[in-house]
Structure 1
Amino acid sequence: MRVSTNGIFEVGINQVGTLQANLARTQLQLSTGRRNITAADDPIASARALEVIQSQSVNEQFVTNRLNAKSSLSQAEIALAAATTLLQDVKTIAINAGNGGLSDSDRASLATDLRGRLDDLLGLANAQDGVGNYLFSGFKSTTLPFIKTATGAQYQGDQGQRILQVGTSRQIPVSDSGNSIFEGNITGNGTFVTAANQAPPNRGSGIISIGSVTNAAQLTGENYSITFAISATQPPQTTFDVVNTTTNTPVLTGSPFVAGQPIAFDGLQFDISGTPANGDVFTVEPSQKQSIFTTLTSLINALGQPASGSTGQANLTNALNTANANLNNALDNMLSVRSTMGSHLRELDYLDSSGEDLDIQYKQTLSDLQDLDYTKALSNFAQQQTTLEAAQRSYVKIAGLSLFNYLS
């Protein structure tokens, strides 16, 4: 077979070039620590690595979201913790206000103290986060949630609950609307509300209890009035009538009254102590939602009224009983919200732990797909370097061959 000089040169140059390219590629692998320099080196591994990198980026974003969620929940929980302590102090004041040894001026001092507590609570309800957004205004984060009014406060936010995606399949609310925390407090015992008539006010010393449910199936959810009458006979007899004022139908008529004895009808029960006067009226209505600011304002107004004599003391006691029941409900509601926030914070800790494990798994997968085996690569580099040097030397020898070198 004839081998031309030109063919020898081309084959030698191509071989040396190939060896140099392989050596350069191995050197690039060693410098980058990557087995696959381009997707063409291993298309399947490159495609899989891209998927893992995208999943890793999403997991990193979830980490950021969880940090933001923790910040928002922690700030809201701090504000509600302060509000809880404040309401507990208010409840203590309300209980102390029932002390029969206090004078009207003493109760006026307590009312002044409560006005300051009301302003403090309003400030907590209008708390902001680190960037100036209001914590309890729902989706309207730049709107002041509450403004003070003559009857308490008016809510200006909405019912929205801001939510963050903190995991692949988990969203967590990072706030609660001020309406659900401060406005949505049930009154009375949670089912119905008992109260002494205010217009005109009762003249006797009757004090009505909060009451309880005896048979939920018999409850009507309607309004009732309990009207007392005292006979002109000697000795006088006190009786009462119960009327369903929603349907204007009598429920009990001429029932004899015994102070402290339970009065029961339509699945509910309560008692009235003291001595009601002729014509005194008490009411029973379904429980409603009431703002804690309205509860505090009503309590302040009650402490500002004179409480002289048995009638004044009875009116004060009825107002304090109502306020205490509503304060208890507000505290329960606030503690429930805080409990929910605490469970969310704990869940975020669990998600952080699982996210860290997932990140380790992603890194290991990427390492298996992309990282270079340095021992193997260094061995290949040494082998390729030796091969290249041998090819270059042999090419020089072959390129120097010529018959003219042997002719004299």
Structure 2
Amino acid sequence: MTLSTPLFHALNTRSLSEITDRIAGLQGEISSGKNDSRASADPVRALRLSAVNEQKDALDRFSTNVERVGSRLDQADIVLKEATNVQRRIRDLALRATSDTMALDERKSIGIEVTQLRQSLLGLANARDETGQALFGGFQTRADPFVEGPEGVSYRGDGGQIRLQVSESFSLAAGISGADVFGGEAGTTVFDAIDDFLSALGGDGSFPSDRVTSKGTMLVQPTLTRDPGSWSMTLAGPAGEVALGFDAAAGSVSGAVDAINAQTARTGVSALRDPDTGGLVLSANGEIAISGVTASSVRSGPVMQVTPENGQPRAVMSADQTRSAVIGRLQAASDTLIDQRTRVGALSANASAQAEVIDTRKVMMAEATAQLEDLDLAAALTKLQQSLLSRDATQQSYVKITQKSLFDYLR
């Protein structure tokens, strides 16, 4: 095969260019300490490196989520610690206020302090994280989960639990629902117990009872509303005791009168409407007792006022709003806060453990990346030396060949 001079020059120029590019690439790899990352250099290695980098990106996302979970749980723990202290203080004040030796002025002072503590507790229940999301709203994180209304504090959040992905198949809870901490999903919150205590603390300073007795006569004035409410109570007289149920509304106690008179033979107690007060006048030849009163229309406070034969009015509460019941509910609220703080601590410990797992995986991914990216310096230097020798030899051969002319071959 005959090679023309232009083709010979072109082939040698291309060969020298390829060698020069290879030398430049090797020098670049040696200076950076990294292998050529282009897929054309090593398709298999590039594919494995791409998979490793995807894993590293996923681990970075998981790590961010774990930090987010940990931050929210830490803030929830701080809030619950303060809420526990506030609730414990309210309970202690309630125990003091229910003492029979407590003076009226002291009870009023306690009521003022408990009112302020209630506001502090409401603020804690509506606490937010650094991004402005409610800590105890469930999935409802934008608005305040606990809202003050005409009937007290109500829960507007839900029972959801925010979770963030921290591995390919595992997610962590980033908080707990306000319904679990302060109550509310079933309609009753810790604030209801505090309100009942404040209601019981009012008036003349004496704590109402769920049972009242009188001899001969008794004036009963139920706490009535415009809308009819369902009432139940236990009525005891000289002849016996019965459980009664009736409907009553403001200005209408005929249902109560009929229910009581229908059981006169069993109780010995009769009733009639008092025209002056609109209440009931009970009479019997002996002792009369009323207990266990409940009314669907009365959310808190006394369900009725009873004036016995001595003329001293007495407030009657439902059984769940008596002195012992209110103290028990306040204690239960404190216990719940302690339990939920323990739960937050367990979730936080789980987040810390998961963070360690992610850190370990990151180390493994870094090692895998190093194995794929880091250059074998000895091998690269050997290849560079071989390329330099090859370039020099090619250049020398090219120079010698191009120096000869036709006359040199004819000699």
| TM-score, structure 1 normalization | 0.69
Closer/same/farther in 2, CA of residues 312 and 199 from structure 1, 3 Å limit? closer
Task: Give structure 2 stretches of 5+ with no counterpart.
Answer: 189-206, 215-230, 247-258, 260-265, 267-286, 304-311
Are 1:282 and 2:292 an aligned pair? yes
The Cα shift of 1:151 comes to: 4.1
Aligned partner of 1:148 in structure 2 is 148
The Cα shift of 1:8 comes to: 4.6
Q: For each residue in 1:378-400, what CA deviation from the matched residue of structure 2 results, as whole angstroms up to 9, or x when unmatched?
A: 22112211221122112111211
Closer/same/farther in 2, CA of residues 321 and 150 from structure 1, 3 Å limit? farther
Alpha-carbon distance between aligned partners in 2 of 1:31 and 1:17, rounded to the nearest angstrom: 21
Secondary structure at 2:84's aligned position in 1? Answer: helix
What pairs up with 1:287-366 in 2 under 5 angstroms? 319-366=322-369
> Is the Cα contact below 8 Å between 1:203 and 1:311 reproduced in 2?
no
One of 401, 404, 408 as aligned partner of 1:401: 404
Alpha-carbon distance between aligned partners in 1 of 2:367 and 2:60, rounded to the nearest angstrom: 16
Aligned partner of 1:265 in structure 2 is none
Deviates more, 1:354-363 or 1:11-20: 11-20
Which residue identity is paired with 1:202? R
Aligned partner of 1:81 in structure 2 is 81
Aligned partner of 2:227 in structure 1 is none
Which residue identity is paired with 2:377? Y
The Cα shift of 1:401 comes to: 2.1
Closer/same/farther in 2, CA of residues 185 and 324 from structure 1, 3 Å limit? farther
Deviates more, 1:168-177 or 1:112-121: 168-177
Are 1:108 and 2:108 an aligned pair? yes
Alpha-carbon distance between aligned partners in 2 of 1:25 and 1:181, rounded to the nearest angstrom: 64
The Cα shift of 1:334 comes to: 2.0
Are 1:35 and 2:35 an aligned pair? yes
> Is the Cα contact below 8 Å between 1:226 and 1:243 reproduced in 2?
yes
What pairs up with 1:116-135 in 2 under 5 angstroms? 116-135=116-135
The Cα shift of 1:362 comes to: 0.9
Closer/same/farther in 2, CA of residues 82 and 311 from structure 1, 3 Å limit? farther
> Is the Cα contact below 8 Å between 2:37 and 2:373 reproduced in 1?
no
The Cα shift of 1:361 comes to: 0.9
Are 1:60 and 2:60 an aligned pair? yes
The Cα shift of 1:140 comes to: 2.8
Alpha-carbon distance between aligned partners in 2 of 1:385 and 1:320, rounded to the nearest angstrom: 98
The Cα shift of 1:149 comes to: 3.3
Secondary structure at 2:172's aligned position in 1? Answer: strand
Alpha-carbon distance between aligned partners in 1 of 2:238 and 2:173, rounded to the nearest angstrom: 58
Aligned partner of 1:386 in structure 2 is 389
Deviates more, 1:139-148 or 1:383-392: 139-148
> Is the Cα contact below 8 Å between 1:35 and 1:371 reproduced in 2?
yes
Task: Give structure 1 stretches of 5+ with no counterpart.
Answer: 188-197, 206-222, 232-238, 249-253, 255-276, 286-293, 303-309
Deviates more, 1:145-154 or 1:94-103: 145-154
Secondary structure at 2:182's aligned position in 1? Answer: helix
> Is the Cα contact below 8 Å between 1:185 and 1:329 reproduced in 2?
no
Alpha-carbon distance between aligned partners in 2 of 1:329 and 1:348, rounded to the nearest angstrom: 29
Are 1:183 and 2:187 an aligned pair? no
> Is the Cα contact below 8 Å between 2:234 and 2:242 reproduced in 1?
yes
Aligned partner of 1:212 in structure 2 is none
Which residue identity is paired with 2:371? D
Aligned partner of 2:374 in structure 1 is 371
CA-atom RMSD, angstroms? 4.2
Identity %: 25
The Cα shift of 1:10 comes to: 4.6
Alpha-carbon distance between aligned partners in 2 of 1:18 and 1:176, rounded to the nearest angstrom: 65
> Is the Cα contact below 8 Å between 2:294 and 2:318 reproduced in 1?
no
Closer/same/farther in 2, CA of residues 201 and 316 from structure 1, 3 Å limit? closer
